[in-house]
Structure 1
């Protein structure tokens, strides 16, 4: 692959390239919970708003929260007028009957316990993350970031532990195929950089070096026509507010 020459704009690359890779996960969860016109959805870590947009298209009332200011601004651009999106949950919003964290981390615990107090009894809480490393082709590529940052690779968040610590009632779980597919190597590099998994590596080395190493790690997934294809499985758990 030739080096990527496109300027690095992480939030926009996330919105235009990477976020759509999780559409099968969003659809599976919304179908399972029958999200529709009577649903009030709170998206934690809503990114640039694609999952919220999909819920709104089903008729749901949606609210989004994300700490990435640039992604929040993009979400505001694409979501219907009047949808609340920001860095914190609006004080006057809720009660919610669906709370989602499609990119859950172990750091979510305390925040989750507080936020679910705004949810009504019986509300569904959905936590999701990439599945077992052996089921995720992107795993070896993402490990490049940890190696360049001279740290151990981040483990998968303990979704079931988060449910227990937040005092929620487990209801079920599922796995969804979310392949990462890109038109070319440049798009793949930009998309993967936008995930944040390489931010420490960029600070520790430089962007050009990180791009080069990502391209090398992607080589096994480049097809004859130049497209990049990495099969992945994501896992989600569903719990209820007591």
Structure 2
């Protein structure tokens, strides 16, 4: 069972000021959670030979680590991110990141995205939605590539038991559109269906291990909360109960040195838009 002291220290970070909460979650994503997906980013870039000839747009780029890794390979990069706190963190890293305006369009005010179309568009945001993928496809040049990614099969992801905590607070009956199943898109054919529906032709993909490793329970809870997958559960259950349940779900993955590690698998798929 999670200790009262640990629960209290984590809940103290869930502040009542909504602005402070968002700012804290954005920083937790950038400092704790974002690096968990580095193996995914690197596998995509290696397989697609991302380099100096690549103009990449990251849709839902969050605080921009994936863009920095592509930039390090010589690519021209830009991003789109709806969350203002994450967007500011990405800009603080020297990245050009626009906001998503009406209909998913890129706002081009203070920090414009430099090109209207790109040779590679990535949707690494979890879980991808048909709307986000369709809007991303609009920015792919003829012959360009669109990448989508998602969790792999739940049975191959130790974090599935922890993510199930969020599902306990979903309404009965029809699936909750505000709390989608994070594993749905990663089912066989799921990512390919998203690509096809967006008007691109699936041409390949891959599977990569992305272990989630944290210094301790506190950082594990903070990192997981920063994904946004638990937002609805937090509103329904309250932060105290949610943190307690998360720490209990994480307990099987607690190591003797106090660290937490869960083995996970992610899938990605790439499609091309046929030349007109």
TM-score after normalising by structure 2? 0.81
Deviates more, 1:138-147 or 1:63-72: 63-72
For 1:140-219, what aligned pairs fall within 5 Å after superposition? 140-150=161-171, 154=181, 155-157=183-185, 158-219=190-251
2:40 maps to 25
Query: Does the Cα contact within 8 Å between 1:49 and 1:79 map onto a contact in 2?
Result: no
Structure 2 Cα separation of the partners of residues 176 and 52 of structure 1: 19
Structure 1 Cα separation of the partners of residues 81 and 62 of structure 2: 6
Q: 1:111 to 1:128 in 2, by over 3 A?
A: closer
SS of structure 1 residue aligned to 2:34: helix
Structure 2 spans left out of the alignment, 5+ residues: 15-23, 109-113
Describe the superposition over 1:179-202 as per-residue Cα deviations: whole angstroms up to 9, x where unpaired.
Answer: 000000100010011111111111
Counterpart check, 1:73 vs 2:88 = yes
RMSD: 1.9
SS of structure 1 residue aligned to 2:61: coil
2:121 maps to 99
SS of structure 2 residue aligned to 1:214: helix
Query: Does the Cα contact within 8 Å between 1:75 and 1:85 map onto a contact in 2?
Result: no
2:9 maps to 5
How far is 1:150 from its partner? Answer: 4.5
Deviates more, 1:89-98 or 1:183-192: 89-98
Query: Does the Cα contact within 8 Å between 1:179 and 1:230 map onto a contact in 2?
Result: yes
Structure 2 Cα separation of the partners of residues 207 and 104 of structure 1: 22
How far is 1:240 from its partner? Answer: 0.8
SS of structure 2 residue aligned to 1:3: helix
Ranges of 4+ aligned residues in structure 1 off by more than 3 Å? 110-115, 148-153
Deviates more, 1:51-60 or 1:214-223: 51-60
